[in-house]
Amino acid sequence: MNLTETFLRFVRFDTQSDELTNMTPSTPGQMEFAVYLKGLLEEMGLEEISLDANGYLMATLPANTDKDVPVVGFIAHLDTAPDMSGKHVNPRIVEKWQGGDILLNAEKNIVLSPAEFPEMNNYIGEDLIVTDGTTLLGADDKAGIAEILAAVAHLQAHPEIKHGKVRIAFNPDEEIGKGAHKFDVEMFGAEFAYTMDGGAVGELEYENFNAAGAKVTIKGRNVHPGTAKHKMVNSIRVANQFAQMLPRWETPEHTEGYEGFYHLVAINGTVEETTLTYIIRDHDRARFESRKRELEHLVRKTNEEYPGCCSVEINDQYYNMREKIEPVMHIIELAERAMREAGVEPRVQPIRGGTDGAQLSFKGLPCPNIFAGGENFHGRYEYVPVSSMEKARDVIVNIIRLLAE
């Protein structure tokens, strides 16, 4: 299986997810892609292939050894991010890139430049797959899917590499936080797994944010502005006041590493009613709970000045998988060894976001995250070095081989 050609075929499927449809999968393109992949798995001769009505595709590479080897799984997601169109993706390969700007789109003067993305300089001399500047690329996570399939094909072509039973799964709607919601962990049947959904080469992640969504609703009172004195309550102005009470520096644009934040993602309002939509993030569970309490405190404070006008609804979304991975740290050590044997230096770091692996870990399937190789996910400047995908494939093969050894 040619990894690059496989990936280029995959990105032409429009699988952008949509959190507003309330369906699983959230868009028909994801099921179309899953059906195509099911056919590909059948052609490869895999076993226990299943595709359910929600777009969850699973399959088995059977063991070729009599040794008692734990069942390991590899998982990637079908969808691309809602942030930018994934329709009519038109990728091209910049062969042996020698540095400097890459003109993605001459008509619109869209340029991928190391001046803006200095990490590009890590890939001088390599083949880069880029967009035409009008869509995202889809390496998140079609690179992961292609890498898993390429690793399986490699093992099929090299029966001298002994391995236990391997399970693979491709799921919908990761980008809208629902990828693990209907994932049947018991049916998957792996002792542990890895999501191939990280970024640059070497990333290995088993810590992620604790996450919640919050909707603050502010009720106003609309009166004709000519006679509004001491009568009108402008919910938009109250909402602005509320937003200003949160810590100014605890926002995504001012934080990094393990620092958490409040992120105002949407405001919708009129004089009569305004809603503020937030996401709350923190790696530390105690600080995470404190952040939620702070929002509730500000609601009470607002209601002291404008009685009964303010309310908040907070819903937890996912938690830091670290507490589920620490008891089985051998799976991290296994991945680190597999990377080093593939010529990759592991970079263990916290995820400033979420992953299907976090939710799966809390469902009983320990599931850290490994690099898929792409950069600048979710936008027109996304690209993936071919060598990064090849190294990810090699890491998968090494994990499977080392586990049997």
323: left (phi over 0), alpha (psi -120 to 50) or beta: alpha
> Tokens representing 372?
């898929």
> What is the rounded distance in angstroms from the CA atom of residue 340 to the CA atom of residue 8?
28
Contact at 8 Å (CB) between 209 and 281? yes
> Tokens representing 283?
């790696």
The one-character DSSP state at 271 is S
> What is the rounded distance in angstroms from the CA atom of residue 246 to the CA atom of residue 264?
10
DSSP characters for 198-249?
E-STTEEE--B-EEEEEEEEEE-B---GGG-TTT-B-HHHHHHHHHHHS-TT
Contact at 8 Å (CB) between 6 and 152? no
> What is the rounded distance in angstroms from the CA atom of residue 332 to the CA atom of residue 337?
9
Contact at 8 Å (CB) between 134 and 109? no
> Tokens representing 95?
């062969």
* Strand-pair partners of 112: 102
Around Cβ 349, how many Cβ atoms within 10 Å?
15
> What is the rounded distance in angstroms from the CA atom of residue 135 to the CA atom of residue 86?
6
> What is the rounded distance in angstroms from the CA atom of residue 200 to the CA atom of residue 211?
23
Closest CA to 396 of 357, 367, 370: 370
Q: Which residues are designated catalytic? A: 79, 174
Contact at 8 Å (CB) between 280 and 262? yes
